[in-house]
Amino acid sequence: IGGLGLALLDGGSGRTPIAELDSVRLLGADSHIAHGVHADAADRALLRERGTAVALCPRSNERLDCGLAPVAAYRAEGNAVGIGTDSLSSSPSLDLLEEVRAVRALAVSQGSPERGLDQWLVEALTLGGATALGRNDIGRLEIGARADFTILEVATDSPYATIVADGPGRCLATFVAGELRHSAGTD
């Protein structure tokens, strides 16, 4: 295939798509797997070993009827995950806060313990997204990182739960590279 040194095989290779990507050295911290719906235990272990993150897009998967990502297994096994929306052709909106609610529902339905789940999900939205993109200059507030952040109105006793369960509509301001891009009531 065009300069990659790959050939199309009639009937397949007998490997899973993730194992096939690994066989041609396309897995690593500089790549990510979108959706990760059909990853079995061996695939998930391979992703961890290679440092490859998974971008979860459950609302798109539902619309496409292509299966359910093993979110509870990704969490329990320590896979790096981010949360994405795919596109408007396969998802009802590009609202990551709506997407995170769908990821939560899927994790709980698969038996993931609720303790710490909301914090894990918010970290998947921020640090996980940065990891999936292979970027260490976004997804965190620290010296040397881009100051991309959103200010949300949340309950102080349970901020993670508030963001996950009821995040949409709570945005007070959004900053990109330290510049105010959105402020509630002024747009």
Please write down the HEC assignment for all residues of the chain: CCCCCCCCCCCCCCCCHHHHHHHCCCCCCCCEEECCCCCCHHHHHHHHHHCCEEEECHHHHHHHCCCCCCHHHHHHHCCCEEECCCCCCCCCCCCHHHHHHHHHHHHHHCCCCCCCHHHHHHHHHHHHHHHHCCCCCCCCCCCCCCCCEEEECCCCCCHHHHHHHHCCCCEEEEEECCEEEEECCCC
Q: Is residue 51 part of a domain?
A: yes
Tens digits of per-residue pLDDT, 88-143? Answer: 999 999 999 999 999 999 999 999 999 999 999 999 999 998 888 888 888 888 89
Residue 101 is assigned to a structural domain of this protein: yes
Tell me, yes or no, whether 147 lies in a domain.
Answer: no
Is residue 144, in this structure, part of any structural domain at all? no
Q: How confident is the model at residue 8 (pLDDT cuts 50, 70, 90)?
A: low
- Indicate the average pLDDT of the chain: 91
Model-level pTM?
Answer: 0.87
Look at residue 166 in the predicted model and tell me its pLDDT.
86
Determine, yes or no, domain membership for 64. Answer: yes
Query: pLDDT band at residue 11, thresholds of 50, 70 and 90?
Result: low
Any domain includes 185: no
Rounded CA-CA distance 159/119 in Å is 9
**What's the domain range around 66?**
17-138
CATH code assigned at 32? 3.20.20.140
82 within some domain: yes
Number of domains forming the structure of the chain: 1
